[in-house]
Amino acid sequence: SDKCWAECMDVAVEIARKAGQMVQEAVKQEKRVSSKSTPTDLVTEADQQVEELIISTLRERYPTHRFIGEESSAAGEKCVLTDSPTWIIDPIDGTCNFVHSFPMVAVSIGFAVMKELEFGVIYHCFDGTLYTARKGHGAFCNGVRLQVSKEKDVSRALILTEIGAKRDPATLNIFLENMKKLLSAPAHGVRIIGSSTLALCHIASGAAEAYYQYGLHCWDIAAAAVIIREAGGCVIDTSGGPLDLMSRRVVAAGSREMADYVVRQLQPISYERDDHQ
Ligand code: IPD
């Protein structure tokens, strides 16, 4: 089966590149934008078309596999992880960036078997950077091995986060309080780039020390979690316990100490689980 998943990963790389090129073309065209769960949870026709391309290609090749996709879920398909081989897909991560042609947009393809993440592929649509990792085989950026930052001291850390779709005053207060805690630690800085998957890739490459977020989805974290772990980092729940893919929350860091530090600073923001029935 190890050989089989390696072959699946080659297919994922091929499709991610193809999808990424489709996104690159779509950026130049007029976008048809609408919103999903909240007015700031955006979707475009391109998101739907790219997901359709990815899933139909994979389904033809692997008819017994299961698929979790951002836009299929938005269209009402069940989002549950079973023991079956499952592809977890974000066709355009950073849709808001895509809408504005802000150059931080990625295609993310993760793959799980027996509820365990096996590999992840993330393609940066603007500069063509390809991040890949398979369990037990290391993480790579354009074929070059990735290594996380081993920094343990928050006062020498660059921290990344993302905002999430909820913008009611109570949620924003907690969001700002969390950021204030880290800024006054004082971390070197906090950045928000508008793409969870690319931000997580920066943890894998050691360009930043920690990442935390409430409100992301399983397709934002599946591929990136493998890439960070294979680069030597840790990906956990905001409670400090093991990552729960469906829980809409995550802390990732180069070192366990840094992750635990961030965990202790955070006040939770609750979001409905991805696998709510
Ligand atoms: C979103 C982006 C955004 C993050 C959200 C994600 P999408 O993904 O990564 O930066 O704040 O939590 O859901 O909707 O653009 O694929």
CA of 6 to the centre of ligand 1 (A): 28
* Residue 187, pLDDT score: 98
Annotate 133-175 with DSSP letters as a single string. Answer: EETTS-EEETTEEP-------GGG-EEEE---S---HHHHHHH
* Residue 158, pLDDT score: 98
Map out the domains of the chain with their CATH numbers. Answer: 2-145 (3.30.540.10), 154-265 (3.40.190.80)
Q: What is the rounded CA–CA span in Å between residue 213 and residue 216?
A: 7
CA 108 to chain centre: 7
CA of 4 to the centre of ligand 1 (A): 31
* Residue 273, pLDDT score: 97
The single residue of 92, 227, 228, 236 carrying the catalytic annotation is 92
**ipTM of the complex as predicted:** 0.95
Per-residue pLDDT of the chain (277 residues; tens, 9 = 90+): 788 999 999 999 999 999 999 999 999 999 999 999 999 999 999 999 999 999 999 999 999 999 999 999 999 999 999 999 999 999 999 999 999 999 999 999 999 999 999 999 999 999 999 999 999 999 999 999 999 999 999 999 999 999 999 999 999 999 999 999 999 999 999 999 999 999 999 999 999 999 999 999 999 999 999 999 999 999 999 999 999 999 999 999 999 999 999 999 999 999 999 999 7
83: phi then psi, degrees, rounded to nearest 5:
-75, -15
Residues 6 or more apart in contact with residue 125 via CB below 8 angstroms: 20, 23, 24, 27, 92, 105, 106, 107
Q: What is the rounded CA–CA span in Å between residue 167 and residue 53?
A: 32
The single residue of 51, 71, 90, 118 carrying the catalytic annotation is 90
Tokens representing residue 6 in the block? 């390696």
Q: What is the rounded CA–CA span in Å between residue 77 and residue 57?
A: 18
* Residue 152, pLDDT score: 98
Tell me the binding residues for Mg(2+). 70, 90, 92-93, 220
Tokens representing residue 96 in the block? 């808001």
The type of residue at 146 is L
**Which among 152, 165, 171 has a CA at the least distance from the CA of 262?**
152
CA atoms within 13 A on the CB side of 232: 12
The C-alpha torsion from 71 through 75 and 81 to 87, rounded to 10°, is: -40
Residue 14 per-residue DSSP state? H
CA of 164 to the centre of ligand 1 (A): 7
- CB distance 69 to ligand 1 below 6 Å: no
- CB distance 163 to ligand 1 below 6 Å: yes
98, 108, 122, 162: residue to mutate for ligand 1 pocket, most atoms within 8 A of CB: 162
Neighbouring-strand partners of residue 60: none
The single residue of 47, 70, 162, 244 carrying the catalytic annotation is 70
Active site residue 238: no
Tokens representing residue 48 in the block? 């739907």
Q: What is the rounded CA–CA span in Å between residue 12 and residue 18?
A: 10
17: number of Cβ within 10 Å: 16
Tokens representing residue 139 in the block? 């993480």
* Residue 3, pLDDT score: 84
CA of 2 to the centre of ligand 1 (A): 31
